[in-house]
Structure 1
Amino acid sequence: MFNLYADAVASLKSGGVILYPSDTIWGLGCDARMDASIEKLFDIKNRPENKGLILLISKIEQLSEYVEQVPEIAWDLAEFAEDPLTIIYPKGKNVSKYMLGPDGSIAIRLLKDEFCKGMVYRYQRGIVSTSANISGAPSPTDFASISETIKSQVDYILKPENSDKKGGLKSSKIIKLGLGGEYTMIRS
């Protein structure tokens, strides 16, 4: 398992874009601080740069690294959510400009899935997450349904032995938090 992660981590550190099974669906990822890597990801997906991206983290303590002021309720929401939950925080920091919304907000998901969490933990910083499809096309339900165009353009494919069990799940729920703890459900 370590060697599988080691190659993915090496690719991320060198600015590569990886294809991997996230905690929800198959995703494309790269270092969330590297503009050039995110631009490559946008090119692979044929995706406009103004479309939002999600930051995946492996430890709740990382919220403070990427969020200016974490609303108090966020700690419990992120830690105790049973299903994958992406939270949009009011003001992000320490990431590429492409990770921030027009209002400076940032979307972050604390991983619970052990496989994906293990990779992000070994990388020791958050990574980008977006679906592994050409923009506008359906999200792939399994590895076999990922476009060959996508597969041929990424720098590394992280495919676990039991990859038939990975992916094919639904996208995460998304809520947007205000500093006072108020929230808006974006996707349920």
Structure 2
Amino acid sequence: MSDDDLTEAAAAIRRGEAVVYPTETVYGMGADATDPAAVERVFDIKGRDRSKPLSAGFPDVDSALDYVVADDREEAFMRRFLPGPVTVVVERRESLPDVLVAGRDRVGVRVPDHDLARRLFRAAETPVTATSANRSGTGSITHPSQLSDEIREAVAVVLDGGTTPGTESTVVDPGRGVIHRRGAMADEIEAWLEETA
């Protein structure tokens, strides 16, 4: 994977197209999370039910805080566990469209512990959708060779970062003290929530 590939992927995101990128969990599908039409494209490519929200990926916690509202505990949680295999559910700002979150007032935030993913997000200069790069109802993708032909043809660029671990991220709402999905680091997250309750 060359810097040219990364530049091309970031430019595709800015044009409203979708790309595939590696993370420390599974391969993700990225498009401009602030552009309703680009978000719709991701739903279409995945065949995903629009009642199921998508998360947004950021290069770091500070850039995420430009698009979400986090209280002291939520921000402390984000700074403790991000970057990492964790999706943090917090209140969104108006700059993230309804279609991304299925009309809800909260959004999942991802800052992957993966250099290539964060470089892509930084180069794209916008929040990027963070959803697995598979058709809905099929298994997660841990290597580009597993991508379906439909997805490969529908995205502008596939960034090859080799094989990913395949563990799902833990989805947690630290403000409400709720773990929505147990995945990587779930025990550590649970302990933090109990200690800070």
Which of residues 177, 181, 193 in structure 2 aligns to 1:183?
177
1:176 to partner: Cα distance: 1.2
> Counterpart of 2:149?
148
Instruction: Give the TM-score normalised by structure 2.
Output: 0.84
> Counterpart of 1:174?
171
**What is the number of residues matched between the two proteins?**
180
Conserved? CA contact 1:26–1:168, under 8 Å = no
> Counterpart of 2:73?
73
Q: Distance in 2 between matches of 1:122 and 1:85?
A: 22
Alignment of 1:53-92 (within 5 A): 53-67=54-68, 69-81=69-81, 83-92=84-93
Q: Distance in 1 between matches of 2:94 and 2:39?
A: 16
Conserved? CA contact 2:27–2:133, under 8 Å = yes
Name the Cα RMSD after superposition: 1.7
Which amino acid in structure 1 is aligned with residue 79 of structure 2? E
Instruction: Give the TM-score normalised by structure 1.
Output: 0.87
1:101 to partner: Cα distance: 4.6
Q: Secondary structure at the match of 2:11?
A: helix
> Counterpart of 2:24?
23
Q: Distance in 1 between matches of 2:44 and 2:101?
A: 18
Instruction: Give unpaired runs (5+ residues) of structure 1.
Output: none
Instruction: Give unpaired runs (5+ residues) of structure 2.
Output: 183-197
Verify: 1:38 aligned to 2:12, yes or no. Answer: no
Q: Secondary structure at the match of 1:88?
A: strand
Give deviations 1:138-161, integer Å, cap 9, x for gaps.
Answer: 1123221121111111122122xx
